[in-house]
Amino acid sequence: MFDSATDTVRSSSIDPVEKYVDFFNDLCAPDQIFEAFRDQVREKSPARAKVIGALWYHLSEAIVDVLCVALAKLETPQIRHLVAQTVYEELGEASPDQIHTDLLRQMLRVADVTDVDILRYSGHKGINAAIDGLMGRLHACQSDAEVCGLLLGMELIAYQNVDNVIDYLSYDSEIGTAVSDTPWARLHHQLEEGHIRRAVSIFVDHVTALHDQRQFTKSFMATMRFWDEFWSTIAAEATGRPLAVSTE
């Protein structure tokens, strides 16, 4: 199915990047991750905002580490160039006051998620284990295709991730309006489409051998399992329920 689907996309006259965005979205069905999260975390509250905001902050710090490690592992200069652009944007595009993790902390404060809350959750075993697993998979990648599949997995559901964080920080309408108007929220809604298209364009332009496409896709799907683990862990922490252990 994968082989015939990719052949169809590449032979189409429609923008192949846009077509592959749809292809990978269909492949991973990301809405299921957030439907499961909302089924578990049915109500918003200041306490749950603190959990979700603080743990999202720790992942945001780790994402920069992931990008930098990926950049060092990549061997193709043209791919490095594209990934370096994303790193540059995450680190503020030459403006230290625009570093994304700092903008995120500013937004969290609007929802009364303080630096103390962030520190309180810095040692969360479940989230740290998920991040360590992600980094381990990155270090184990043996090709640019595998590295870039992982990076696409990190980027593809960016809109859903951002919207989910903003939604659960918005435990009342006044705070919701203020959170949505912060620089972090506005910036990420502006940048994410470009990040996604950049990650997909790497597949379209540089991952052309069938073996590499399969490796890319396998790495991509492994990263989607990371997101399932990440949000399931946050749901368990936010609701005080034990995390279900997968038997797969």
Q: Tell me the residue range of the domain where 119 lies.
A: 16-21+44-238
- Is residue 132 within 8 A of residue 199, CB to CB? The reply is no
Cα–Cα distance measured from residue 5 to residue 87, given in angstroms and rounded to the nearest whole number: 31
Per-residue pLDDT of the chain (248 residues; tens, 9 = 90+): 455 445 445 445 578 999 999 999 999 999 999 999 999 999 999 999 999 999 999 999 999 999 999 999 999 999 999 999 999 999 999 899 999 999 999 999 999 999 999 999 999 999 999 999 999 999 999 999 999 999 999 999 999 999 999 999 999 999 999 999 999 999 988 889 999 999 999 999 999 999 999 999 999 999 999 999 999 999 999 998 765 444 34
The CATH number of whichever domain residue 108 belongs to comes to 1.20.910.10
Closest CA to 129 of 237, 4, 226: 226
Q: Is residue 142 part of a domain?
A: yes
Q: Is residue 57 part of a domain?
A: yes
Q: Is residue 212 part of a domain?
A: yes
Q: Is residue 6 part of a domain?
A: no
Closest CA to 162 of 178, 186, 131, 132: 186
Counted domains in the chain: 1
Cα–Cα distance measured from residue 41 to residue 36, given in angstroms and rounded to the nearest whole number: 9
Instruction: Dihedral sign for Cα 134, 139, 140, 146, please.
Output: positive
DSSP 93: T
Q: Is residue 203 part of a domain?
A: yes
Q: Is residue 106 part of a domain?
A: yes
Q: Is residue 247 part of a domain?
A: no
Cα–Cα distance measured from residue 116 to residue 50, given in angstroms and rounded to the nearest whole number: 10
What local confidence, expressed as pLDDT, does residue 13 receive?
58
What local confidence, expressed as pLDDT, does residue 248 receive?
41
Q: Which two structure tokens, joined as six digits, stand for 115?
A: 């630096």
What local confidence, expressed as pLDDT, does residue 104 receive?
97
Q: Is residue 93 part of a domain?
A: yes
Residue 118 zone, left/alpha/beta (φ > 0; ψ -120 to 50; rest): alpha
